[in-house]
Amino acid sequence: MKLMFISDIHGSLFWLEQALAKVEEEQPHTLVILGDFLYHGPRNPLPDGYNPQGVATKLNAYGKSLVAVRGNCDAEVDQMLLEFPMMGDYVLILHEGRKIYATHGHGFSIDHLPALAEGDVFIQGHTHLPVADIKEGIYVLNPGSISLPKKNNPNSYGILENGEFTVKDFTGNIVKHIKL
């Protein structure tokens, strides 16, 4: 089962459309969105193509094939526009014999892991930085940000399939990779 992870849309219809084109290309079983859907946040600049209502409309078309968690820039009023649940702080996914703890990263994070067993997967967004590593026997992952990457990283998304996690930019280049 192929999973695709995106995070930190921050209201950018332009970058969401790029990500959804990759959804059509990659054909994941499930799209997992790691928070920060509509609002750009007080510390962030306006991203390219800032259009929160357009983002909501586009995402609602994918609502039956996605899993989502709330980010620190998401609020109950955002849920009023979105036709799929996104207010949970985390979601647990069972994938290829592993438990995946998916969250935004403003509570539990790579630097403050929840109780997971060795070999489990922790994935977050929030930092806008791609990560594919192991910490304390737990795979720690971050797909980066589709709209507002930091520290000269490219706009990116993540794919988990066949025991491998790959962060890719939108031209298809591999940014990070790890075998689980």
Q: pLDDT digits over 126-156, tens only?
A: 999 999 999 999 999 999 999 999 999 999 9
How does the average pLDDT of the chain come out, rounded? 97
pLDDT at residue number 66: 95
pLDDT > 70 fraction of the chain, expressed in percent and rounded? 100
Answer yes or no: pTM beyond 0.75: yes
Domain count across the chain: 1
**80 CB contacts (<8 Å, ≥6 apart)?**
none
What six digits make up the tokens of 175? Answer: 């940014």
What six digits make up the tokens of 160? Answer: 């988990």
pLDDT at residue number 39: 95
- The string over 112-121, giving b where at least 16 C-beta atoms fall within 10 Å of a residue's C-beta and e elsewhere, is ebeebeeebb
User: ∠ CA(74), CA(77), CA(78), 5° rounding?
Assistant: 50
pLDDT at residue number 141: 98
Is residue 149 within 8 A of residue 15, CB to CB? The reply is: no
Q: How confident is the model at residue 75 (pLDDT cuts 50, 70, 90)?
A: very high
Expressed as residue numbers, the domain containing 109 is 3-179
Going by C-alpha positions, the residue among 91, 177, 90 that lies closest to residue 139 is 177
Cα(129)–Cα(109) distance, integer angstroms: 13
Q: How confident is the model at residue 73 (pLDDT cuts 50, 70, 90)?
A: very high
CATH number at residue 102: 3.60.21.10
- The string over 55-92, giving b where at least 16 C-beta atoms fall within 10 Å of a residue's C-beta and e elsewhere, is bbebbeeeeeebbbbbbebbeeebeeebeeebeeebbe
